[in-house]
Amino acid sequence: MTTSMVDAESLLSIDVGGINTRVALFDVVDGRYRYLGSGSAATTVYAPYFDIGEGIRAALDRLQMATGRVLVGNDERLIIPARDDGSGVDTLVATMSAGPPLNVVVLGLLEQVSLESARRLATTTYARVIETISLNDRRKPEQRIDTLLRLRPDLVLAAGGTDRGASQSVMKLLESIGLASYLLPEEQRPEVLFAGNQALLEDIDASLGKVVRVHYAPNLRPALDAEQLGAAQVRLSDIYRSVRSHKVSGVEELDAWAGGGLLPTAAAFGRVIRFLGEVYDSTKAVMGIDVGASATTIASVFNSELTLSVFPQYGLGQSVARLLEYTSLEAISRWMYQDVPADYLRDYLYQKSAYPASIPVTPEELDIEQALARQVMQMAIRRAASGYPAKSKRYGSSLLPWFEPIVASGSVLTRAPNLGQSMLMLLDGIQPTGVTTIVLDQSHITPALGAAAAINPVLAVQVLETGTLQNLGTVVSLIGKARFGSPVLRARMVYEDGNETPMEVKQGSIVVLPLPAGQSARLHLTPLQRFDVGMGGAGRGGGLRVVGGALGVVVDARGRPLRVPDDPARRRELIHRWRQTLGG
């Protein structure tokens, strides 16, 4: 499709992140939408500014300098729509992840049913579950009220009761929410999202609705064996926007610029991953991973169904010191190729937490930062995978399903000194299976494309097609058991010009076959020792067409799950060797 078929409109995206505010400009060039450039500045949601507008303005200044286009008028206002003289833009989309996660209380009847679904719903945005209330809760009602008053949640996610199922017990649980809210000053009352028994909506409106703002979504568990989160996720995004608008200056104005469509960055990221799944091949699973300062986000699409998991506790910004509540110093340092004392590593976490915008300068601190990225990816994927459909787990529950492609984003990945380091972080952190393409969003535009997809899908498709995302290469991941150093694969790559490169791959190694971006080749794989090379089962080989990327084709024969040696010296030597293989 060319843009002559649609009304060509320029688009400005604004993403207010935990550390940086990024703006990007898209417009039609030679009949197709293209990414023209971006600008970024420090996010100013924090003291002393307390208003996101300052950071947006500074980022826009940089974008104006980079592109030469005037976006802000003499009256200091954004020029929308574009004028005949070429200044301004036609449309604007906005996303946001800055600010502390929403404090959420989840309420449901049964631990493994509605409560579990409500918890899962909470993980689809920047939220932290601070309390749960269920039928199993043995506290007295007044104790629950006191807890709610002490915690002062931003949001209560309430589920429970299948449609036309339990009602009295749900209303009883909601009673403490109503009483606690009544006791709070009006401006501190939580918003409530009810996604339970739909027969209760009128009763809830008549009781709870008098005290707090209640939002409704279809039942998360319409039946005991069915779960539907989709519609509730959309409502949750609306609530996120509403809470942010009340608490952060400048958000309301940004939302107005975006026509009321301000999205949580994670939701926009999820949308573009689902979009990729639909546009390219809906039979394949697609994954997106964003390692950010505010959170680590995993977006997984199976048969066009999006599973979105947002983990603020695994963010690499201000919350990074709290990572030790979820993991250990040893678990982080096992990813490092340098010998850094545990005390130094721990101090690093606290200093980074105190100065979240700061970046590593020494090789040791870069090694720590990249080890942290690997560890948070591992933890996030493990958590996200627990919600994957059983059918997707062709390699068993301990390994990742086969995703093609995998889209990665996040400053820790994009600021690596070379793309080989980005690739190795992703291989270690994600541990993909099968044959997959790994793509890096170096310009941080995936949230923008996700937000744009709703109003201008042609733009999203065309920008994705222009190669704005950096193709790191095709990865072949081998699965099987063999002694370290023993041959596990014979491969032969036949280039377009007829040249061939044969090779033997040994267990525990990474091998790189150069194949420039834009070129394709035929890769013939003959597994040894009954290894699975993604050709339909253990020991099965065959040929496939592969497309080149920045690093060509990468064969990862280190095994899945990846186990590094316990001996620190041996481990560090091995990790160093893998780094060297991918470019140092």
Partner 1 sequence: MLAQVTHILPITSIRRERLLPVAGRVSVRKGQKVSATDVIAEVSLTPEHMLLDVARGLGLPAREADRNLHCQAGDQVAEGDVLAGPVGFTKRVIRASKNGRVIVAGEGQILLELEGPPLELKAGMPGSIADLVGDRGAIIETNGALIQGVWGNGHIDFGLMHVLAKSPEDELKADQLDVSLRGSVVMGGKCIDPQVLKLGAELPLRGLVLGSLDAPLMPYAAKVRYPVFSTDGIGQQPMNNAAFKLLSTNERREVAINAEMWDRFTGKRPEVIIPLPATGNIGLPRETVDFLPGQKVLVTRAPYAGQLGVLQVIRPGLSLLPNGIKAQAGEIQLENGDNVVVPLVNLEVLV
Q: How far is the CB of 261 from partner 1 (least distance, A)?
A: 25
Residue 436's nearest CA partner among 582, 584, 288 is 288
Q: Name the segment binding partner 1 (CB under 8 A); options: 43-51, 191-199, 386-394, 444-452.
A: 43-51
- 584 Cβ neighbours under 8 A, 6+ residues apart: 418, 420
497 CB burial (10 A radius; 0-12, 13-18, 19+): exposed
CB of 343 to partner 1, least distance (A): 7
Closest listed residue to residue 528, CA positions, set 582, 483, 584: 483
Question: Nearer to partner 1 by C-beta: 206 or 361?
Answer: 361
Q: How far is the CB of 247 from partner 1 (least distance, A)?
A: 9
Name which of residues 210 to 249 contact partner 1 (CB under 8 A): none
* Residue labelled with tokens 């899908």: 457
Q: How near is the Cβ of 419 to partner 1 at its closest, in Å?
A: 12
**Shortest Cβ 545–partner 1 spacing (Å):** 34
- The stretch among 128-136, 412-420, 483-491, 569-577 that binds partner 1 (CB under 8 A) is 412-420
Angle in degrees, CA 221, 222, 223, rounded to 5: 85
Looking at the DSSP assignment, which residues form a beta bridge with residue 24? 13, 38
Smallest CA-to-CA distance from 175 within 207, 150, 202 is with: 207
Restricted to residues 181-200, the positions that interact with partner 1 (CB under 8 A) are 182-183, 185, 188
Q: Report, in Å, the least distance between residue 99 CB and partner 1.
A: 7
Site string for partner 1, 122-161 (x = CB under 8 A): ------------------xxx--xx--xx-----------
In eight-state DSSP terms, residue 390 is G
Q: Nearest 10 degrees: CA dihedral of 431, 433, 438, 441? A: -50
Q: Which amino acid is at 537?
A: G
Q: What is the number of other CB atoms lying within 10 angstroms of the CB of residue 577?
A: 13
Binding mask 345-364 for partner 1 (x = CB under 8 A): -xx--xx--xx-xxxxxxxx
> Which member of 6, 42, 331, 547 binds partner 1 (CB under 8 A)?
42
Q: Please, what is the end-to-end C-alpha distance for the chain in angstroms?
A: 41
Cβ pair 432, 10 in contact under 8 A = no
**Residue 422 contacts partner 1 per CB under 8 A:** no
Rounded to a whole number of angstroms, the minimum distance from the CB of residue 79 to partner 1 is 23
Please pick, from the candidates 2, 31, 50, 502, the single residue that binds partner 1 as defined by CB under 8 A: 50
Which residue lies nearer to partner 1 by CB, 46 or 495? 46
Q: Which two tokens stand for residue 141?
A: 């009602």
Q: Determine contact, residues 356/293, Cβ cutoff 8 Å.
A: yes
Nearer to partner 1, 259 or 341 (CB): 341
Q: Which amino acid appears at position 476 of this protein?
A: V
45 binds partner 1 (CB under 8 A): yes
Q: How many residues line the site for partner 1 (CB under 8 A)?
A: 49
Query: Which residue, 142 or 465, has its beta carbon nearer to partner 1?
Result: 142
The smaller minimum CB distance to partner 1, of residues 160 and 317, is found at 317
For the bound state, the minimum distance from the C-beta of residue 475 to partner 1, rounded and expressed in Å, comes to: 23
Smallest distance, Å, CB 361 to partner 1?
A: 5
User: What pairing do the DSSP bridges indicate for beta strands 305-311 and 296-302?
Assistant: antiparallel
Question: Closer to partner 1 at the Cβ: 20 or 233?
Answer: 20
Given the complex with partner 1, which of 57 and 221 has the nearer CB atom?
Answer: 57
CB 461 within 8 A of CB 279: yes
As measured in angstroms, the least distance from the Cβ of 238 to partner 1 is 22
Kindly identify the residues of this chain, within the stretch 440-499, that bind partner 1 according to CB under 8 A. Answer: none
Q: Of the candidates 199, 212, 142, 135, which has an alpha carbon nearest to the alpha carbon of residue 176? A: 142
Question: Among 304, 311, 263, which Cα is nearest to 290's?
Answer: 311
Tell me the DSSP string of 238-256.
Answer: HHHHHHHHHHSBTHHHHHH
- List the alpha helices (DSSP H) in 258-299: 265-279
**Helix ranges (DSSP H) in 248-362:** 251-257, 265-279, 329-333, 342-354
Quick note: the x/- pattern for partner 1 over 254-293, rule CB under 8 A, is ----------------------------------------
Q: Which is nearer to partner 1, 45 or 555 (CB)?
A: 45
- Residue closer to partner 1 by CB (options 54, 428) is 54
- Give the x-and-dash track for 89-108 against partner 1 (CB under 8 A): ----------xx--------
CA distance 422 to 582: 10
Binding site for partner 1 (CB under 8 A): 41-42, 44-50, 54-55, 58, 99-100, 140-142, 145-146, 149-150, 179, 182-183, 185, 188, 318, 321, 343, 346-347, 350-351, 354-355, 357-366, 415-418
